[in-house]
Chains A and B, each alone.
Chain A
Amino acid sequence: MSLLEISGNLNMIGYAIATIAPALGVAWIFASVINGTARQPEARGAMMSTAFIGFAVVEALAIIAIALAFVL
């Protein structure tokens, strides 16, 4: 008799692992923006637009991972 049977797809565990690095990256980017804004509030606009490019590039990793988790 099996007490507990877990069914599902192992891909999701792989996706969960793959989100760790982009999560840290996105957190780091916005932490730097907050730091920079605290040091020089008037530079916020310039920093935000750069931050969003970096955010898009870093988050692309997690997004490619979710696509592959469903496809593969």
Chain B
Amino acid sequence: MTLGLLPLETGDYTPPGTKDFLWYSLMPGDLPDWVNKPLVQAIIGALLVIILWVIASRKLKVQPSKGQFFAEYMYEFVRNGIARDILHADFRKYLPYLLGLFSFLLVNNWFGQFFLFMYPAFSNVGFAYGLAILSWLVYVGAGFAKWGFGGFLKKALIPDGVPAYLLPLVIPLEFLATFITRPITLALRLFANLFAGHLVVMVFAIGGGWLLSQQDNLFYNISGGVSILFSIIIMLLELFIGALQAYIFTVLTAQYVSTSIAEAH
């Protein structure tokens, strides 16, 4: 056995990587491959959000109970802090989508730190693309509904005060920015943050577990224990990052809707 310079280089250790994000069928043979853990988690998350909001919106009292207070706090955070601040007068039409988006993202991101799941569904890029396409349809649809087909294209592609000789340069750039890079960056921002966070937790947990299981080397065992404790601290950071990414995704969706329906000044 040759000893590497680094403790984890001796050979029987396989570091976590992108292969840990591949999932196969939950019941191989009975169910197709796409019925995997992330899909089931996303469905559970959606059902959880629907059920919680239905329960929260029934039997509302003037003097709220603790549960109602909490639900109203969440609702007002999205309504006043995101929707009304950004969309101003006509925020009511988009509030249900924004609230659903925020709570769905929050629940699904926190599944990454929740026992039993321990995996954020949005660290698979397909789920993030799906939500980004939905947001794209909402903000492009809002623009077309308000300004008509040509009107919205004119508003989105031709900024005010651009001289005519610059238009051949500006129109393709604006088209790229509004219709292509916006949804892609929206999806990849969410995906990359959750993917990287889950990967960091796995590096510390799996590497720490390997170090703990080495015989006759107290230094390895102590550093393994420390890195497992550290992985718990990183999970606490991930709780914060999951909430932050849910917030940013919702704010940016509201922002994009606002730029497509705002009146020209």
B185/A52 in contact, CB under 8 A: no
Chain A's interface: helix, strand, loop or mixed, by majority? helix
A63/B248 in contact, CB under 8 A: no
Contact with A along B184-212 (1 / 0, CB 8 A): 11001100100000000000000000000
Query: Quick one: closest B residue to A52, CB to CB?
Result: B251
Query: Quick one: closest B residue to A66, CB to CB?
Result: B192
In the complex, chain A residues 22-68 whose Cβ is within 8 Å of any chain B Cβ: 45, 48-49, 52-53, 56, 59-60, 63-64, 66-67
Q: List 17 A-B contacts (CB under 8 A).
A: A4-B4, A4-B9, A48-B85, A49-B85, A49-B86, A49-B251, A52-B255, A53-B255, A56-B252, A56-B255, A59-B189, A60-B181, A63-B189, A63-B192, A64-B185, A66-B188, A67-B188
Query: Quick one: closest B residue to A62, CB to CB?
Result: B192
The 3 closest A-B pairs by CB, nearest first: A60-B185, A63-B188, A4-B5
Q: How far is the CB of B253 from chain A (nearest CB, A)?
A: 11
- Chain A residues closer than 8 Å to B255, beta-carbon distance: 49, 52-53, 56
Q: How far is the CB of A32 from chain B (nearest CB, A)?
A: 18
Max chain B Cβ within 10 angstroms of own Cβ: one of A53, A56, A59: A56
Interface size band for A: 10 to 19
Q: How far is the CB of B13 from chain A (nearest CB, A)?
A: 13
In the complex, chain B residues 1-53 whose Cβ is within 8 Å of any chain A Cβ: 4-6, 9
Given A49-B255, A59-B189, A60-B181: 13 more A-B contacts, CB < 8 Å:
A3-B5, A4-B4, A4-B5, A4-B6, A52-B251, A52-B255, A56-B189, A56-B255, A60-B185, A63-B188, A64-B185, A66-B192, A67-B188
- Chain A residues closer than 8 Å to B4, beta-carbon distance: 4
- Chain B residues closer than 8 Å to A67, beta-carbon distance: 184, 188
Count contacts on B: residues with CB < 8 A to the other chain: 16
A61 to B188, CA, bound (A): 11
Partner of B85, one of A45, A63, A64, A66: A45
- Chain A residues closer than 8 Å to B188, beta-carbon distance: 63-64, 66-67
In the complex, chain B residues 109-138 whose Cβ is within 8 Å of any chain A Cβ: none
Query: Quick one: closest A residue to B254, CB to CB?
Result: A49
B248/A52 in contact, CB under 8 A: yes
Query: Quick one: closest B residue to A53, CB to CB?
Result: B255
Query: Quick one: closest B residue to A56, CB to CB?
Result: B252
Query: Quick one: closest A residue to B186, CB to CB?
Result: A56
A53 to B7, CA, bound (A): 45
- Chain B residues closer than 8 Å to A60, beta-carbon distance: 181, 185
- Chain B residues closer than 8 Å to A4, beta-carbon distance: 4-6, 9
A64 to B189, CA, bound (A): 9
Q: How far is the CB of A1 from chain B (nearest CB, A)?
A: 9
A3 to B5, CA, bound (A): 7
- Chain B residues closer than 8 Å to A52, beta-carbon distance: 248, 251-252, 255
In the complex, chain B residues 73-99 whose Cβ is within 8 Å of any chain A Cβ: 85-86
